[in-house]
């Protein structure tokens, strides 16, 4: 398909698409503490949706609830089907992949085997005949082809993050959840990762939810941004507008 998308900007037509993800009245309590409190939002297909908020706001817990790592109350619908409280591998088979805030990789295995693990965990289309192609496509896409035989624990944080992204892509998701993919990187590593995330969204047509602290990153990447505070939505909208919101400045940016 010919694409006229400018890879340096966001596609402004995205909002017109049907929702790929619907989160309704999602809640999760840890003891007496409500980490996520009656949260509802919808994401149209094709969007890059940012989530930000203070530490402990419940951002990672939202990802854990969507991906079945934690059980909560409320409803999660993906492509108009109820996926609430399915098991993590079942949710991945449906087409939702994620990366973790702190890279979790198989340290003693090489890069190729790490990505292979991702494919085996979450790709329901995997067959003997197509496994290598799927893994190589993911490695090529993130730029790890030359490192495929390197042992994962010998790679730096930037490359560990790429391994995790490649493993997620090898599941062939239509929705990718990225939990602070930029955190801990040097300034020189940030721009290549922003470009990669934009390519994932625009070239592979994957809807992206990104948890991030750096406003520069959210402004460049996300069509809309939601600010969470104590598990509740403070404001959702275009990043520039959200960052000007008085309440957002008070609880987060201030
Ligand atoms: N498995 C858990 N058990 C108990 N408390 C948790 C657990 N996971 C998260 N929390 C608590 O829930 C709140 C939200 O955490 P989290 O979703 O990780 O926040 P964020 O990602 O926004 O920094 C925090 O107070 C955190 O300590
Ligand atoms: Mg977190």
Distance CA(250)–CA(254), nearest Å, equals 5
Nearest CA to ligand 1 atom 9: 61
**Binding site membership of 166 for ligand 1 (Cβ less than 6 Å):** no
Q: How many CA atoms lie within 13 A of 254 on its CB side?
A: 8
Same domain, 74 and 178: yes
Contact between 206 and 174 under an 8 Å Cβ cutoff? The reply is: yes
Same domain, 142 and 237: no
Same domain, 90 and 180: yes
> End of a domain among 151, 172, 193?
172
**Percent of the chain predicted with pLDDT > 70:** 94
Element (H, E) at 37: strand 33-44
- If one counts the domains in the chain, the total is 2
Task: Establish if 9 belongs to a structural domain.
Answer: no
> End of a domain among 116, 146, 172?
172
Nearest CA to ligand 1 atom 7: 30
Q: Which domain holds residue 151?
A: 105-172
Distance 35 CA to ligand 2 centre (A): 11
> End of a domain among 149, 172, 195?
172
Tell me the per-residue pLDDT of 125-134, one tens digit each, with 9 for 90 and over.
988 789 999 9
Same domain, 194 and 88: yes
From 29, 31, 35, 179, the mutation candidate for ligand 1 (largest count of ligand atoms within 8 A of CB) is 35
Q: 3 exposed, middle or buried (CB, 10 Å; 0-12, 13-18, 19+)?
A: exposed
Task: Check residue 20 and give its pLDDT.
Answer: 98
Task: Establish if 194 belongs to a structural domain.
Answer: yes
Same domain, 161 and 227: no
The yes-or-no verdict on residue 10 having pLDDT over 90 is no
pTM of the model: 0.93
Same domain, 40 and 86: yes
């Amino acid at each position: 398909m010919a694409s006229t998308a400018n890879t340096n900007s966001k596609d402004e037509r995205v909002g017109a698409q049907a929702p790929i993800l619907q989160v309704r009245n999602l809640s999760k309590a840890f003891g007496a503490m409500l980490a996520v409190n009656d949260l509802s939002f919808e994401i149209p297909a094709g969007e890059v949706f940012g989530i930000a908020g203070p530490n402990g706001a419940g951002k990672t817990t939202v990802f854990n609830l969507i991906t079945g790592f934690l059980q909560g109350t409320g409803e999660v619908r993906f492509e108009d089907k109820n996926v609430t409280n399915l098991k993590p591998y079942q949710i991945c088979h449906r087409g939702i992949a994620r990366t973790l805030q702190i890279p979790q990789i198989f340290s003693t295995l090489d890069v190729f085997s790490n990505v292979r693990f991702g494919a085996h965990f979450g790709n329901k289309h995997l067959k003997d005949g197509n496994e290598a192609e799927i893994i190589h496509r993911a490695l090529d896409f993130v730029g790890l082809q030359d490192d495929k035989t390197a042992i994962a624990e010998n790679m730096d944080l930037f490359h560990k993050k790429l391994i995790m992204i490649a493993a997620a892509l090898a599941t062939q998701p239509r929705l990718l959840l990225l939990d602070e993919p930029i955190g801990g990187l040097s300034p020189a590593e940030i721009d290549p990762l922003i470009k990669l995330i934009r390519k994932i969204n625009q070239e592979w047509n994957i809807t992206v939810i990104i948890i991030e602290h750096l406003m520069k990153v959210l402004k460049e990447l996300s069509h809309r941004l939601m600010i969470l505070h104590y598990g509740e939505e403070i404001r959702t909208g275009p990043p520039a507008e959200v960052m000007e919101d008085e309440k957002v400045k008070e609880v987060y940016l201030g």
